[in-house]
Amino acid sequence: MVLSRLQALLGRIYDVEPPLDPATFLVTDPSVVRDWHGEGATDEALFMREHEGDLEVSLYVDGAVLSRLEDHDPFEQVTDANLQDCCTALEGVSHLLYVAWSAMRGRRVSLLELETQAEVDKFVALLVLGGDRGRESPARLHARLFEQVRYADGLDHERLLRYADANRLAARYCQRLARRWLGGGAAGHTGLFRELRAFYRLGHGAKLACAAA
């Protein structure tokens, strides 16, 4: 399943063992989400609640997104035909992995931290997926993810502000990563992954300060 493979990719990038299988928590029917919340859903969302001391989660990714990714596998090639769907799937997997990984360590996660990490994850994962086959330079990918961005209609002010802040913080951090490490061959890639793994493990305040620096 593409979600499990994307989670495994993030696990390798950050040197973390994924504690959950996305398929176990997956919901693909938008009508189910409407029944739960009385409103329409975007193509991806992570739903969480605490119940009797346990954290309950459900990952929603629209079934149409997953179907298109099966037809246009991002592990074979990332193109204009699957870039948006790949970003959607990566965001959901990123949220699930980071929440589960943090919960197992007794760490609280803010929504801004969660969204910022997901934006970084998309940039780095797409670079890795592209590899030598990719036609996207880091600068062009950065522009497509962080400058040519459009937010869903109907977002309330709080969520719109949070998404915009996450985009700004991740854009700044990923630009710094590209300047520092990309274009330097294997040694640069080693440094890139070392820095990314340290960033992943930072606490809330330290992570956002690092991204904003």
Q: What is the pLDDT of residue 188?
A: 61
Residues 10, 101 contacting (CB under 8 angstroms): no
Is residue 22 packed enough to be buried (19+ CB in 10 Å), middle (13-18) or exposed (0-12)? buried
What's residue 90's pLDDT?
A: 98
Pairwise CA distance, residues 121 & 77, whole Å: 18
Tokens of 140: 């062009």
Per-residue pLDDT band at 36 (split at 50, 70, 90): low
Report helix, strand or coil for 48.
strand
pLDDT category at 137 given cuts 50, 70, 90 is confident
Give CA separation, 27 vs 1, 97, 99, 102, in Å. 14, 16, 17, 22
* Paired tokens of 48: 């969480």
Asked whether the whole model's pTM tops 0.75, one would answer yes
Cα angle 199-110-160, degrees, rounded to a multiple of 5: 105
Segment 152-198, tens digit of pLDDT: 777 788 989 999 999 999 999 999 999 998 875 555 678 899 999 99
pLDDT at 34 exceeding the cut of 80: no
